[in-house]
Amino acid sequence: MASTSETRDRGDGIAAILALLGVPGLISFAGGFPDPATFPRERAATLLAEFAASGETSAFQYAPTRGLAGPLDAIASRLEATQGRRPTDHELLIASGAIEGLELVSKTVLDPGDVAVIEGPTYLGAIMAFRGYDAELVAVPMDEHGLEVDELERRLAEGLRPKLLYTIPDHQNPAGVSMSTERRERLVELARRHGFLIVEDVAYRELVFEGDALPSLWSLAPDVVVQLGTTSKTFFPGVRLGWAVGPAEVSAQLVNAKQNTDQCAGALGQRLFEEYVRRGWIEEQLAQSRALYRRKSERMLDALDRWMPAGTSWTTPHGGFFSWLTLPDGVDSTDLAQRAVEQGVGIVPGGLFYADGSGADKVRLSFSMVDEQQIDEGIELLASLAR
Ligand SMILES: Cc1ncc(COP(=O)(O)O)c(C=O)c1O
């Protein structure tokens, strides 16, 4: 079956990226991993010791499928504080990461042949999730203000009938751009008018470098948006913890679907995160993470300015982990990635972020995990290869 081998090919692509990350000594702009410097080692140890000493059982036991009451309450309170809307008990569930949220949404919403609109480019994990349920993927392009909502509207007028639309409105992976408020408002109106579900992935939302985040799509239109969140980039991914919040009837279906995937997200991670939120530690970690990633981003952008040949352009992120590079005419990104890794620099060729194999002139650069001191050297080398 075409879709199966396609999925396998994409899976191989991810495996190749992960393999690149493993090469010792590589200056890697490849993976979208958080910087280990942000991991809350001591606080995690403190909390574990407390759980053990207090005789608490919930952290060590199976949890209800929707999530433990305390962690659900902590996440609901955070959504209220950061997005201005508190979900009801029937709208929120705790998932084993945003990637599980994508799987659950695909399983409940998509029938074979249904149209899923994605951003071009988008997160490979989402392409794989939708492909896994035999959806037809239709990409709508992006510019520096995010998804081109005008273009979407035009295609809807021409008869496009999506079941869902997947977007990463904040500091997009891989494009490093955010959707403007005006486009957010128009997008939710289109969803209401044409009856499709918006799947909003907020993986990088809280990692804004300066100022406040823009209104979330879910806060604008909780009737037509399922938001998928993760603690992977702001807490630590070792707990595999996220949330899905959306209309009560959709949420109930996600809970049903979760019963025969992993039944519940790990209770230990749920309890650790709950305490982290209640003690205000998450805010402290976020402040440090934002400053760290901002510094790294600026350093990488400076190096790009300094070294990249004429004809190269890139996006300027205001948060998150990524900048998206357009190579000069005639430079192929897969070829560049191959030559770069031979010289000790890891990058991800743009083709991995499109469902149709385009993106040969694009490269995703991640500044999140690369050693700060090696950013200049890595970009200089990359630029010499691009030249
Ligand atoms: C846009 C986006 N969504 C989801 C994920 C995965 O999140 P999680 O670790 O919670 O599964 C990532 C991780 O790279 C991502 O970039």
Neighbouring C-beta atoms of residue 159, cutoff 10 Å: 6
The answer to whether the CB of 27 falls within 8 A of the CB of 345 is yes
Task: Fill in the amino acid letter for 273.
Answer: F
φ, ψ for residue 174 (rounded to 5)?
A: -105, -5
Instruction: Read off the pLDDT of each residue in 124-131 and give the average, rounded to a whole number.
Output: 96
Cα 232 to averaged position of ligand 1 atoms, centre (Å): 7
Instruction: Read off the pLDDT of each residue in 332-361 and give the average, rounded to a whole number.
Output: 92
Task: Fill in the amino acid letter for 319.
Answer: G
Half-sphere exposure in the Cβ direction for 182 (13 Å, CA): 3
The answer to whether the CB of 132 falls within 8 A of the CB of 116 is no
Instruction: Read off the pLDDT of each residue in 90-102 and give the average, rounded to a whole number.
Output: 98
Cβ–ligand 1 distance for 270 under 6 Å, the answer: no
- 296 Cβ neighbours under 8 A, 6+ residues apart: 35, 367, 368, 370, 372, 375
Q: How far apart are CA 138 and CA 173, in angstroms?
A: 17
Atom 13 of ligand 1, residue of closest alpha carbon: 32
User: What is the chain's alpha carbon radius of gyration, rounded to the nearest angstrom?
Assistant: 21
Q: How far apart are CA 127 and CA 335, in angstroms?
A: 23
Cβ–ligand 1 distance for 31 under 6 Å, the answer: no
Cβ–ligand 1 distance for 101 under 6 Å, the answer: no
Residue pLDDT, tens place only, 10-49: 456 556 655 665 678 899 999 899 999 999 999 999 999 9
Instruction: Read off the pLDDT of each residue in 350-356 and give the average, rounded to a whole number.
Output: 93
Q: How confident is the model at residue 309 (pLDDT cuts 50, 70, 90)?
A: very high
Task: Fill in the amino acid letter for 174.
Answer: P
Cβ–ligand 1 distance for 319 under 6 Å, the answer: no
Q: Taking all residues of the chain, what is their mean pLDDT, rounded to a whole number?
A: 94
Q: How far apart are CA 58 and CA 68, in angstroms?
A: 8
Rounded to 5°, angle at Cα 29 from 142 and 168? 30
Cβ–ligand 1 distance for 153 under 6 Å, the answer: no
Token duo for residue 10: 């994409």
Atom 15 of ligand 1, residue of closest alpha carbon: 203
% pLDDT > 90, the chain: 90
Neighbouring C-beta atoms of residue 212, cutoff 10 Å: 7
Cα 142 to averaged position of ligand 1 atoms, centre (Å): 19
- 249 Cβ neighbours under 8 A, 6+ residues apart: none
Cβ–ligand 1 distance for 320 under 6 Å, the answer: no
Q: Which atom of ligand 1 is nearest to the CA of 100?
A: 11
Give me the count of residues in the chain: 387
Cβ–ligand 1 distance for 232 under 6 Å, the answer: yes
Residue pLDDT, tens place only, 63-94: 999 999 999 999 999 999 999 999 999 999 99
Cβ–ligand 1 distance for 125 under 6 Å, the answer: yes
pLDDT at 4 over 50: no
Residue 31 has what pLDDT? Answer: 84
Alpha helices per DSSP H over the chain: 2-22, 41-54, 69-83, 98-109, 124-132, 149-157, 181-194, 217-220, 248-259, 267-278, 281-307, 333-342, 375-386
Instruction: Read off the pLDDT of each residue in 270-283 and give the average, rounded to a whole number.
Output: 98
Q: How far apart are CA 44 and CA 53, in angstroms?
A: 14
Residue pLDDT, tens place only, 155-179: 999 999 999 999 999 999 999 999 9
Q: Which atom of ligand 1 is nearest to the CA of 32?
A: 14
Q: 345-365 burial, b for 16+ CB within 10 Å, e for fewer?
A: bbbbbbbbbbbeeebebbbbb
Q: Which atom of ligand 1 is nearest to the CA of 242?
A: 10
Cα 309 to averaged position of ligand 1 atoms, centre (Å): 32
Instruction: Read off the pLDDT of each residue in 290-315 and give the average, rounded to a whole number.
Output: 98
